[in-house]
Structure 1
Amino acid sequence: MSTADKLDTIIYLLVTLILIVVIKTLITAFYRRVSGNSQREVLNVLIDKGEYDFALKKCNRVLKKRPKDSYFLWMKANILFKLNSLDEAKELFQKLSEEEPLWKEDAEKFLNVINEKT
């Protein structure tokens, strides 16, 4: 095998490897988006039905995989509030208020209610 053939083989393998990584990344991103949406829908149904304990377990499972997902942190704080776990809810609402500008105003409303209750 000549040097040119070896070089062609190496280039072919590198291109193949890069394509595999790109395809895997795209599939992973698509799966996360789809599964995130369906998990949100399931969580909303559970909350609407008043199944807060199960909803909290579901939320915690998602947060183990994606601990900084602000939507699921928000949902967990709301569930804890509904379960009257005000100290835990307050901690999450405080974190969201400080770190997530989109949730700040709503989180502060919950914090005010919690402060009035305690």
Structure 2
Amino acid sequence: MTKKFHLDKTQIRPLATGYGACIATDMITVEGKSVGYMVREFPHPDHPEDSGWLFTSGEESQDYMDDANHHGVYDVNTIANYCPEIIALLDAPPQSAFARNPVTGKLEQIDYEEPLD
């Protein structure tokens, strides 16, 4: 299955280069939704390009997330082009999390929760 991305590769500009790779869901890259939740884990020690960042719209169900066809690995810069609001938060340390406040519409820091295995 070939994905039709919301932004064409010619629309990707250098907004947040040098951060490495991240995981993002199709709700952002295919459907064009804004980042509604972002969490930074410790980067994988065997993958030096891993930034530790995961970006979702915040609307994904667990079933959606469990299907590997619904997300992919991207350069953080690519996701910054989809949602430039994340740029100011990218230097947050591992074990940081941010969610979109439904009242203000802004990404705000929230308590980090250890992922379940």
Q: Quick check: which has more Rg, 1 or 2? A: 1
Shorter-chain TM-score above 0.5: no
More strand by share: 2
